Amino acid sequence: MINKSLSAKKMIQILFIFLLIPVASYCQDKPLTCKDIHEGLFYYYPKNSSDQYSERFGDKFEYETNLKSHDSALYHVSWGKDCAFSEKYVRSNIKMTFQQLSLMEEHTFIYRVTGITNTYFTFSTYMDKMPDLPIGDDTMWFHPQVYPTNQLLFTSIANSAVLRQKPFNDTSHYAVLYLYRPGKFTDFLNIYPIYLDGIEMGIEENNSGYIYKVLKEGPLEIKGTLFNHAAEMSLPVRFGHIYYVKTWVHFGAVRNKTHVEMQVVDSKTGRSEFEKVKRKY
> pLDDT tens digit string along 13-40?
444 444 444 444 434 567 899 999 999 9
Pick the CATH number of 154-279 from 3.10.20.600, 2.60.40.10, 3.30.1390.20, 2.60.40.2890: 2.60.40.2890
Give the pLDDT score at 21.
Answer: 43
Average confidence (pLDDT) over 255-277:
87
Task: Kindly write down the DSSP assignment for every residue of 185-206, as one continuous string.
Answer: SSSTT--EEEEETTEEEEEE-T
Task: Count Cα atoms within 13 angstroms, Cβ side, for 98.
Answer: 3
Contacts of 262 (CB under 8 A, 6+ apart): 222, 224, 231, 233, 245, 246, 247, 248
Whether the full predicted model's pTM is greater than 0.75, yes or no, is no
Burial of 99 (0-12, 13-18, 19+ CB in 10 A): middle
Q: How would residue 252 be classed by pLDDT, with cut points 50, 70 and 90? A: low
146-169, pLDDT tens digit by residue? Answer: 888 777 889 988 777 777 777 888
The segment with the largest mean pLDDT, out of 181-195, 207-221, 251-265, is: 207-221
276 has pLDDT over 80: yes
For the chain, count helices (H), then strands (E): 4, 18
- Amino acid occupying residue 260: V
Nearest of 225, 226, 219, 227 to residue 264 by alpha carbon: 219
Give the pLDDT score at 133.
Answer: 62
209 has pLDDT over 70: yes
The least confident of 9-13, 47-51, 61-65, 252-256 is: 9-13
- Main-chain phi, psi angles of 76, to 5 degrees: -90, 130
Give the pLDDT score at 113.
Answer: 95
Contacts of 131 (CB under 8 A, 6+ apart): 228, 229, 230
Nearest of 21, 183, 12, 47 to residue 123 by alpha carbon: 47
Q: Of all residues in the chain, what percent carry a pLDDT higher than 90?
A: 44
Average confidence (pLDDT) over 48-54:
89
Q: How would residue 248 be classed by pLDDT, with cut points 50, 70 and 90? A: confident
- How far apart CA 106 and CA 131 sit, in angstroms, is 18
Contact 231, 216 (CB under 8 A): no
Give the pLDDT score at 10.
Answer: 46
- How far apart CA 74 and CA 97 sit, in angstroms, is 18
The segment with the largest mean pLDDT, out of 102-106, 114-118, 131-135, is: 114-118
Give the pLDDT score at 143.
Answer: 96
Contact 100, 106 (CB under 8 A): no
- How far apart CA 63 and CA 50 sit, in angstroms, is 20
Give the pLDDT score at 132.
Answer: 58
Average confidence (pLDDT) over 179-201:
82
Average confidence (pLDDT) over 208-219:
92
